[in-house]
Structure 1
Amino acid sequence: MAGPELGTETVAGPELGPMEIHAHRIREHVVAMCAGPEGGHLGGSLSAVEILVALFFHTMNLDPDDPEWKERDAFVLSKGHAAMALYATLAERGFIAADELATYCRPGSRLATHVNVAVPGVEFATGSLGHGLALANGTAWAQRQAGGRPARTFVLVGDGELQEGSVWEAAQVGRALDADNLVVVVDANEFQQTGAVRDVSDGAPIAGRWAGFGWHAVEVDGHDLAALCAALDEANRTQGPVAVVCRTQKARGAGVLAGRAVSHFVRLDEAKLRRIRAGLRGVAPRPATTEEAAGA
C-alpha cells in the first residue's frame, strides 16, 4: 500500500540553494512518512534536518554507489528514533530509492521505526538511547588503525539523551583516545518525550559540559546551513574530539506542532497534514484556534 504522496509544489522562493532544497524535500518526505498509519517521531526528525543535510551533502566523504567503501566516513544516529529524517536523507543522497520511503513501517519493509543495518548507509542499529557515542568511539579508533589519513566518524545525539550516564563515560573515553577524527553533533531541541529537557534534568550549559570533558566544543544555530557547515569544517581542522552543539527547534516547519513536546510522536490526520504541508511550502496557514492547538 503506497504512502501519502508528496505535494506537487516545490520549494517556496527561487533564492534557495541546493542544500536548502534538499532540506525542504527531506521535510516533505518526513511529513509524508508520519502521515502513514503507524505515525512517527516527527519532532526529533524535523529538528535534525539541516544537521543531516550539512553532514551528508557537505562534510562526509561517502559513495552512495558503494555504501561499504572502506575509506568512507561513518555516521551513527544515536537518537535512533529520528529514523525518518535519516531515511529521507539517504533517499535524497541516493543510497535508497525515494519510492521506498512510502513503505515506512509497513509489513516487510526495512524502514523500521528505529534504524537498522538492512538499510544502505546505516552503520548501526540504534534506538536505545545513550549508546551511539560508545559505538562511534570504536569506529573512529578502527578508522585510525587503517593508516594514512583516517576516515571520520560523526555521531548525532539528542539533548535529552545526554541525561544517560553512558554518554559521558564514552565522552571520557573519546578524550582519552585523543580521537581527532570523532565529532559529536548534539541536536539540542530542548524537548524529550516527557517534556522540556530543562524541567526533567537540566544539563545546561551543554557546550560547557563537553568542554569540561576535554572536548573542543562549539555552539551553532542548527537550522543555519552555512553556520553548520562552517562549524563542521572547524571540527575537521581541530586536534582531538569535537562536540558541535546545535540549537534547534523540535518539529521545525510543522506549524502548530513546532517547539512542542507533543510533537515527539504523532499521527497526522488529513487536516493536520494539509496545514503542515502548506507551512512547508512557504504558504502561511491561518493561525490555529485554541481548540486546534490543544488537540494537536
Structure 2
Amino acid sequence: MTPSLTGSAELRRFADAMRLRAVRMVAPHGFGYLGQVLSSAEAVATLYRTCYRPETDQIVCSPGHYIIAAFAAAAETGQLDETLLSTYGHEDSALEAIGTERSPAVDLTCGSLGTGLSGAVGFALSNRLRGDDEARVFVIVSDGELEEGQLWEAALFAGHHRLDRLVVVLDANDSQVDGPVSSITTIEPMAAKWESFGWDAYDVDGHDVDALSEALASALQTDRPSVVIARTSTTRGLSVLPADADGHFIKLPAALAHEAVAELEARGA
C-alpha cells in the first residue's frame, strides 16, 4: 500500500478520525491514553498519509502508551482490522494499552521510555549495511523522552553516521505523568539540541497539517537524520473535555465519551 498525496482537508479529517477511534477505544474503560492521540493526531495522520509506506519503510513507536495512535492510524489506512479496536486494553488482547514486542501495526514499540530511537537507529544502520537505499525509518517520540540519556546516545550515533533515512516525529505536548515536562526538566531549546548532535530540525505547529507536510517533505530530502518537532496540546480537538483534564491519562466517563463522539462525528470524522 503506497500512501497517496492528499490535501489539507483530508489530513484534518484523518486526524479527527483517529481521535474518534481513540475515544471509542478508551470509552469502555472510562479512562486511558486519549491525550496522546489528541496531541499527535495531525502529525501521525500526515506521516501515514504522505510519507510512510508500510511495505517498504519501518515505523517505531517509542513511547509504548502512544501505541493507541498507531492502532488508530493503521485501522484508518486498512493496515489493521478495525474490528480489533474494540478489544483495545482488554485482557488477552493483542492491542494492549501499552505496546509490547507483540503489538501489531508497527515494527517496534517500547515499554521503557527513551529506547525507541535506539531501535530505529538499528533499523536504519541495518538497512544501509544491507544496501537497501529505499527503506526509510520513522520513529514517534514524545518530548518527555528527551529526559532519557539513551535517547541522546542514539541521536549522537545517528548524527555521526549521517543516517539520512531516519526521521523522528517528536510530539512536544509538554505532558508527562508527573506534570508538564517543562516543570520537571528543562529540555529547551529542543531544535538547537538536535542540531548540535548533527540532525536537521524542523520546529512547527503540530496541529498545522500544511506545516507538518512541508517539514516532513524537507526531512526526506536532507543528507542527515531529521527531527520534526510538533508543538501540540493533549486536549486538542475535543472542546467537551473539562478545562482541568489530565492530558496524560484522561478520565472519560460514559456521558463525556458520548459528548466526545458526537463532537467528532459532527465535525465529519
1:101 positional shift: 0.4
CA displacement at 1:117 relative to structure 2: 4.5
**Partner residue of 1:199?**
183
Q: Secondary structure at the match of 1:17?
A: helix
Structure 1 equivalent of residue 146 of structure 2: 162
TM-score w.r.t. length of structure 2: 0.90
The answer (yes or no) to whether the contact 1:130–1:164 under 8 Å persists in 2 is yes
Unmatched 5+ stretches in structure 1? 1-14, 64-71, 284-296
Contact 2:18 2:72 in 1 (8 A): yes
Shift of 1:206: 0.9
- Indicate conservation of the 8 Å contact 2:65/2:98, yes or no: yes
1:62 corresponds to which letter in structure 2?
Answer: P
| CA deviations over 1:182-233 (Å, ceiling 9, x no partner) | 1111100111111111111121111111111121111111111121111111
Matched, 1:103 2:95: no
Aligned residue for 1:47, secondary structure, equals helix
SS of aligned partner of 2:155: helix
Paired letter, 1:152: R
CA distance change for structure 1 residues 23 and 180 in 2, over 3 Å: closer, same or farther?
Answer: same
* Aligned sequence identity (%): 38
- Output one character per residue of 1:209-267: Cα deviation in whole Å (capped at 9) or x when no partner: 11111211111111111211111110010011111111111132232548867121134
Alignment partner of 1:84 out of 41, 57, 68: 68
Please report the RMSD computed on the Cα atoms of aligned residues, expressed in angstroms.
Answer: 2.0
Q: Which residue of the partner structure matches residue 172 of structure 1? A: 156
The alignment partner of 1:219 has SS state of strand
SS in 1 for 2:213: helix
Partner residue, 2:38: 46
Letter in structure 2 aligned against 1:40: G
Residue 23 (structure 2) pairs with residue 31 (structure 1): yes
Match for 1:33: what amino acid? M
Deviation at 1:111, TM superposition (A): 0.2
Q: 1:258 to 1:215 in 2, by over 3 A?
A: farther
Offset at residue 37 of structure 1 (A): 2.2
Query: Do 2:172 and 2:229's aligned partners in 1 also have CA atoms closer than 8 Å?
Result: yes
SS in structure 1 at match of 2:60: strand
| Distance of aligned partners of 1:148 and 1:118 in 2 relative to their CA distance in 1, 3 Å threshold | closer
3-state DSSP of counterpart to 2:250 = coil
**Which letter does structure 1 place at the counterpart of 2:12?**
E
1:19–1:203: structure 2 CA closer, same or farther, 3 Å change rule?
same
Instruction: Assess if the C-alpha contact under 8 Å between 2:26 and 2:252 holds in 1.
Output: yes
Verify: 1:185 aligned to 2:169, yes or no. yes
The amino acid of 1:158's aligned partner reads S
Q: d(CA) in 2 for partners of 1:202 and 1:16?
A: 33
2:53 pairs, out of 34, 53, 61, with 61
- Structure 2's unaligned 5+ residue stretches are 1-6
Please say if residues 255 and 275 of structure 1, whose CA atoms lie closer than 8 Å, have aligned partners that are also in contact: no
Higher relative contact order, chain-length normalized (CA < 8 Å, sep 6+): 2
Residue in 2 that maps onto 1:248: 232
SS at match of 1:246: strand
